[in-house]
Amino acid sequence: MDTQWVHDYFKTVDTLDADAIAAYFTDDGKFRFSNQPPAIGKQAVRDSLAQFFDTIEAMHHEKAGLWLGDDGNSAVWETDVTYTRKDGTQVTLPCASILRSRADKIYDFRMNMDISPVYENP
């Protein structure tokens, strides 16, 4: 995992293409969104993301920081995420994600943020 790989992953996330994002995960990969139970397995990750993407119009990650682990297989990505709601209004939230990989595939992804403002009335 290197800087370009992480940037490419989040660029793919911004497409809202659940299949393309799931392709970054191992077959037994785990995706945890804050305090929610993890989605385990590539198909479960894909389905979880697709369900979430149905609730928004768009999103965009703006990098605030990136730290690569000494092991070459981990990273912490700090970002501001702008979500476009279905009504066209936007909300930007801070986020930190931890990625762990093997053979250039994510086996453990942990996203830490409070998503509730996206669903509050503007």
Please write the tens of the pLDDT for every residue from 101-120.
999 999 999 999 999 999 99
Residue 122 lies in a domain: no
Please give the Cα distance from 19 to 55 (Å, whole number): 17
Name the 3-class secondary structure at 50.
Answer: helix
Is residue 100's pLDDT more than 70? Answer: yes
Q: What is the pLDDT of residue 122?
A: 67
The domain that holds 14 is classified in CATH as 3.10.450.50
Domain containing residue 94: 3-114
| Residue pair 88/104 in contact by the 8 Å Cβ criterion | no
CA of residue 71 relative to chain centroid, distance: 21
For the segment 20-73, what is each residue's pLDDT rounded down to a tens digit?
999 999 999 999 998 899 999 999 999 999 999 999 999 999 999 999 999 989
Query: pTM to 2 decimals?
Result: 0.91
Name the 3-class secondary structure at 111.
Answer: strand
Name the 3-class secondary structure at 61.
Answer: strand
Residue 121 lies in a domain: no
pLDDT bracket for residue 16 (50, 70, 90) = very high
Residue 119 lies in a domain: no
pLDDT bracket for residue 1 (50, 70, 90) = confident
Query: Around 75, how many Cα atoms within 13 Å sit in the side-chain half-sphere?
Result: 22
Domain count, the chain: 1
